Structure 1
Amino acid sequence: MNVSQTMETEEDFLTCLHIKFYHPQQSCRGLYGLLPLGKRSVHSADDPLKLGRDNQACTYSLADPRVSRKQLALQAYRKPGSQDMLFSIQNLSQRGRLSVNSSALGYLERTDLPDKALIRFGEYEMLIIRESGEAKVTFEVEFEVLTAPPSRETCMCVPSMTPVMDTGSGVMNGFPTAVRALGPLETDETLMYDS
């Protein structure tokens, strides 16, 4: 088998982890100066991606003395018979907890990362979104800074569910004030009112 048949081509669509940071004091500090913001970086799937304060021990570093030397690790993996590249997250900090969608991880504890996850450590919030791809040996990472905390989003635990209110009518303004005060109407309700 020649080398060109075993190598990935540039046409392979790589799985990408979009990692979005927020810190309440990010505007007055250079916290993200060591991150390649807005650029996609390619990583080998067999090496854990480590994030922390120590730029020698970690793949990416945050310029913040309150962050652990090694804060967390993201590891790519596959399930048997599946083409999807999935990720787990591990807490590498001995002094701080890390939470994934409100579930706390202690030192060296690991959990599977859902397709959309809110990660918290210290005052940091990270929103990690996995974009599926086809490549088998590499993945991409793209960093971004958010202007508002991602925890303000609703339904972080179940991102596919959005509450929908059924008013029973497209226009509530067509009803008298007394009926509008009742609130949302179910579609099978029949209200009698004087006109």
Structure 2
Amino acid sequence: MNVSQTMETEEDLLTCLHIKFYHPQQNCKGLFGLLPFGTRSRHPADDPLRLGRDATACTFALNDMRVSRKQFVLFAYRTPQSLEMLFTIQNLSQKGRLSVNSSALGFLERMDLPDKALIRFGEYEMLIIRESGEAKGSFEVGFEVLAVPPSRETCMCVSSSTPVMDTGSYVSTSFPAEPTALGPLESDETLMCPS
């Protein structure tokens, strides 16, 4: 048997970032029209992956004027102790904050992405799931649109000390939502209000 047929190839072992989007008005606007759905895109590991509204400055673009020209960037890296490709996210927006699992990032602040991360900016919610691979030179990115907000399905941002309102929806106190994103909320009579 030929050696090239028995060896595993780098293509079989690529790390993949599954990026799942949700926006409350995604059905009536073409917000995600510039993203390559239904296929995985291969990306060089040494090239930062940028997302924003500017299709010329960013690797992937959102068709939304409320999104910053460059919203955020993902950097791939490896540590000497591990073969796994890991990722860091950095907020590139000067006007808006970005949250990662309810930890807010200001302009140019960055943090390591866990294997499963809930990213929020504006009215957008993104669930980024890292599927491990061993390849060093590149990784793949796959996009999907979610029918419901990932924060509702995963409940990643709700801690045991955070009350959930009667409506069943969750409003984060560590990352304030835009006023248009909030609907009417009912409060529980047993909650104490600070005086």
- TM bucket, shorter chain: 0.7 to 0.9
Q: CA deviation at 1:63?
A: 0.2
Cross-structure match for 1:45: 45
Q: Is 1:78 equivalent to 2:104 in the alignment?
A: no
Q: Percent identity?
A: 80
Q: 8 Å contact 2:54–2:61 — kept in the other structure?
A: yes
Cross-structure match for 2:146: 146
Provide the C-alpha distance between the structure 2 equivalents of 1:46 and 1:157, rounded to a whole number of angstroms: 31
Cross-structure match for 1:126: 126
Residue aligned with 2:30, SS: coil
Letter in 2 for 1:67: V
Q: Deviations over 1:135-167 (max 9, x none)?
A: 111000000000000000244159xxxxxxxxx
Provide the C-alpha distance between the structure 2 equivalents of 1:119 and 1:57, rounded to a whole number of angstroms: 21
Cross-structure match for 1:89: 89
Q: 8 Å contact 1:12–1:134 — kept in the other structure?
A: no
Q: CA deviation at 1:9?
A: 2.9
Letter in 2 for 1:17: L
Provide the C-alpha distance between the structure 2 equivalents of 1:86 and 1:12, rounded to a whole number of angstroms: 18
Provide the C-alpha distance between the structure 1 equivalents of 2:34 and 2:26, rounded to a whole number of angstroms: 13
Cross-structure match for 1:171: none
Residue aligned with 1:141, SS: strand
Q: CA deviation at 1:12?
A: 3.2
Please identify the structure whose Cα radius of gyration is greater: 1
Aligned pairs for 1:164-183 within 5 A:
none
**Structure 1 regions of 5+ residues with no counterpart?**
159-195
Provide the C-alpha distance between the structure 2 equivalents of 1:156 and 1:30, rounded to a whole number of angstroms: 28
Residue aligned with 1:151, SS: helix
TM-score (norm 2): 0.75
Cross-structure match for 2:29: 29
Q: 8 Å contact 2:10–2:135 — kept in the other structure?
A: no
Q: CA deviation at 1:134?
A: 1.3
Provide the C-alpha distance between the structure 2 equivalents of 1:155 and 1:68, rounded to a whole number of angstroms: 27
Q: 8 Å contact 2:151–2:157 — kept in the other structure?
A: no
Provide the C-alpha distance between the structure 1 equivalents of 2:104 and 2:15, rounded to a whole number of angstroms: 26
Aligned length: 152
Provide the C-alpha distance between the structure 1 equivalents of 2:114 and 2:138, rounded to a whole number of angstroms: 19
Q: Deviations over 1:50-97 (max 9, x none)?
A: 000000000000000000000000110001121000000000000000
**Structure 2 regions of 5+ residues with no counterpart?**
159-195
